[in-house]
Amino acid sequence: MSPGRWRLPWRVLVRASTPGDRGLMLASAVGIVALGLLLEGPPGSRLQVFRDNRLVATHALGGTAGWSVDGRLGPVIVEIRQGQARLREYRSPRLIGTRTGWIGRAGQVAACVPCGVLIRVEGGPSPADADLDAVSE
Amino acid sequence: MIFCRRTPVLLLILALLATGCSPTAQPVSRTTTRLLMGTLVSITTWSLPTNASAWEEQERQGVDAAFREVARIEGVMSSHRADSPLSRLNQAPRGIAHPLLPELADLLRRGLEVTNASGGAFDMGLDPLILLWGFSREPPPQTVPDPQRITAWLEHHAPGGLTLSGTVEQPLLRLANASHGLDLGAIAKGYALDRAVAVLQEQGIHNAIVNAGGNLRTIGAKGDRPWRLGIRHPRQAEGVMAVVEVDRPLTMVTSGDYERFFIHQDQRYHHIFDPRTGYPARSGLISVTVQAEDGTLADALSTALFVLGAEQGLALLRRFPGSEALLMLEDRSLRRSAGFIGQPVAEP
Amino acid sequence: MIRPPRSRLEADLLAAHLAAAGVAAHVLEATLPGLGPWFKPGLANLFTLVAFFHLGWRTAVAVALIRVVAGSLTVGTFLSPTFFLSLSGALGAVAAMGVGGLLPLGLGPVGLSLLAALAHMSAQVVAAFFLILGHQGLFLALPWFLAGSWVTGIVNGVLAFLILERLAPNQASPP
């Protein structure tokens, strides 16, 4: 396919490209990396998983993932999708942890209290009602 | 010509570097959450540190110490653990004075002030009744217990069933009969808030909120801005019915009929009992929020007010100067004491 | 400027050759297993690129369209979702070439090929989102796809440069 003799690819590249080309190569490489980081969720956006108040796992909030944590009442599933996480428990009386639904903003928590499992978002965007520091209920 | 080709790249690199610089002190706020006392306990701290990493270490240790204190209190006062000092008192024979920890005795003494002032609406001896209704079990109850058993309990449960005696160093407690059993669920979280905050201050943390299952105690503020607290609307799971801005030490405890309840034949049965009837309190209130500096007092008063209703409840407050309350009635109207801090939020 | 073809006939012949080569590349890539729908070497774009440099943008558009239509007819995917993906990709690429050629950035075949490859991939992902998978998870993989396009774009650009060198030996440097 390529006519002519094969030289060292590097030298060919340098000969074939203009300074403008090389600038574009660099800029687009940076852009792609930045896009990758951006889509992974905001920098530092992580999910912490606690079992009986001990940190048992940390996971980035990007991409898709799911695994099982051994809770006091049986397995609890932790799911991550598109920068958010949720709990799905199958053996908890009131399913409050599951009913909390997807969390993705800094400080948000979902917990199954009888299972002893808690997940928390660290870093990432602050919640929409960040103007409240705490709620008495 | 090389200059203007490379300038955009240089500018990009400079911009990236610039985002990392921050010469002035930045405020740092951190929230730690743990499962304790059968609920979520969170400690939020705020600081404007000159040395961020030193503060981070200090904050972590201080918060750890505060959580350890809460766990210790749970270990002493939990009626769910068979080996706690409180449970052992419940297992001891009735009608005889038994020794107990001074810490427990002090708490009981303070609670008895509210018991006496409220005419028995606040009662720390309801363990048998709570067991009868089953609210402390998992899964929670769905039906009403046998009315005869409730009547039997009521017959034996006269006021004054908890009697303290002995000295401050060696106190004694006498439970009158089997209808009396210690349950501190309506006062222990308030006490835990007081202790946690004390530990935080000992550890050099002076701006914080401790949140034990929705009961809040604040110290300090966020620099020149106050803490902004919300009060849950009893019928809107994510809604807030009032906003409170506070920059002096304050405790807010909310008692509501929406926290633990079941509905049976169109009636709501919640977990705040009226000791005078043996049934969940029906005083016309669906939510009570008490403000006071002291957490123990606020916690006890919130239960007492819920049981007493609006008129008698607000009258009770006047006997404890410095305490205020916001009440939501069944018709969704609000009543408040004169000094209650906060703004109701308009109905959406 | 690259030496213009000496006559209209010469230009048409060259265009035809490039289109045919593009079709061949399209068919070849369609039958290559295991690379998956996204990670193709993009050789077909190579010929569009050469057409662009040697014959102008309009001819490049024609070459691209012929390539996609004839290629899909040959493979049997005409008017299928795959066809529309290829179409979007090719149109995106050729649009990027046009825009890139107009920008005062001094881009040569490598730069334009890179732009075209990135535009090709982006256009295909957007088309796939609307036509096939309305799933946001598709965009999560975009950086990886773009990284692949980055490589193939540069490689194709170098190849285009070498081809152009052959076509006009004394004027191999870009405009």
Written as one string, the DSSP assignment of C22-41 is HHHHHHHHHH--SSTTT---
Residue in chain A lying closest to B7 (CA): A23
Domain boundary among B156, B175, B194: B175
CA B209 to chain centre: 12
d(CA B117, CA B348): 38
Q: Is residue B303, in this structure, part of any structural domain at all?
A: yes
Q: Structure tokens of B331? A: 């018709």
A41 has pLDDT over 60: no
Same domain, B298 and B191: yes
The number of domains in chain B is 2
d(CA B263, CA B219): 38
Q: 3-state secondary structure string, B274-293?
A: ECCCCEECCCCEEEEEEEEC
B35 touches chain A (CB under 8 A): yes
8 A C-beta contact, residue B128 and residue B180: yes
Across B190-207, average pLDDT: 97
Same domain, B206 and B242: yes
Q: Is residue B153, in this structure, part of any structural domain at all?
A: yes
Same domain, B274 and B311: yes
pLDDT of residue A60: 81
C108 touches chain A (CB under 8 A): yes
What is A46-122's CATH number? Answer: 2.60.320.10
Q: Is residue B171, in this structure, part of any structural domain at all?
A: yes
Same domain, B255 and B313: yes
Written as one string, the DSSP assignment of B209-275 is EEEETTEEEEES-BTTB-EEEEEE-TT-TT-EEEEEEE-S-EEEEEEETTSSEEEETTEEEES-EET
Mutation site, C43, C46, C50, C146, interface A, largest A CB count within 10 A: C146
Q: Which domain holds residue B309?
A: 28-77+186-344
Same domain, B145 and B205: no
Average pLDDT, chain B: 90
- Its ipTM equals 0.85
Which range of A93-97, C33-37, C130-134 scores highest in mean pLDDT? It is: C130-134
Mean pLDDT is lowest, of A89-98, B271-280, B304-313, for A89-98
Task: Write down the domain spans for chain C.
Answer: 8-171
A30 touches chain C (CB under 8 A): no
Kind of pairing between the strands at B39-47 and B250-256 = unpaired
pLDDT tens-digit series, residues C117-129: 999 989 988 888 7
Q: Is residue B3, in this structure, part of any structural domain at all?
A: no
Query: Which residue of B2, B33, B254 is in closest CB contact with A137?
Result: B254
C132 has pLDDT over 90: no
pLDDT of residue C33: 62
Domain boundary among B119, B150, B175: B175
B169 touches chain A (CB under 8 A): no
Confidence band for B187, pLDDT divided at 50, 70 and 90: very high
B128 has pLDDT over 50: yes
Calculate the alpha carbon distances from B312 to B303, B339, C129 in Å. 13, 17, 64
Mean pLDDT is lowest, of B64-68, B79-83, B180-184, for B79-83
A38 has pLDDT over 60: yes
| Chain C neighbors (3+ CB pairs < 8 Å) | A
Same domain, B157 and B287: no
Nearest CA to B12 out of A26, A18, A40 is that of A26
Confidence band for C172, pLDDT divided at 50, 70 and 90: very low
Across B59-78, average pLDDT: 97
What is the pTM assigned to this prediction? 0.66
pLDDT tens-digit series, residues B282-306: 999 999 999 999 999 999 999 999 9
pLDDT tens-digit series, residues A68-122: 888 887 888 898 887 788 888 666 666 666 667 788 877 788 888 888 889 988 8
A135 three-class SS: strand
B167 has pLDDT over 60: yes
Across B51-63, average pLDDT: 93
- For tokens 């609670």, name the residue: B111
pLDDT of residue B347: 58
Confidence band for B330, pLDDT divided at 50, 70 and 90: very high
Across C143-159, average pLDDT: 88
Across B98-113, average pLDDT: 97
- Contact yes or no for B228 and A53 at CB 8 A: no
CATH value at residue B165: 1.10.3980.10
Residue in chain A lying closest to B262 (CA): A94
Q: Looking at CA atoms only, how far is residue B98 from chain A in angstroms?
A: 33
pLDDT of residue B309: 96
Q: Is residue B141, in this structure, part of any structural domain at all?
A: yes
Q: Is residue B19, in this structure, part of any structural domain at all?
A: no
CATH value at residue B47: 3.10.520.10
Across B64-81, average pLDDT: 96
Same domain, B232 and B340: yes
Across B250-272, average pLDDT: 90
B136 has pLDDT over 80: no
pLDDT of residue C134: 56
pLDDT of residue C175: 47
Task: Write down the domain spans for chain A.
Answer: 9-39, 46-122
The fold of the C8-171 domain, in CATH, is: Arp2/3 complex 21 kDa subunit ARPC3 (1.10.1760)
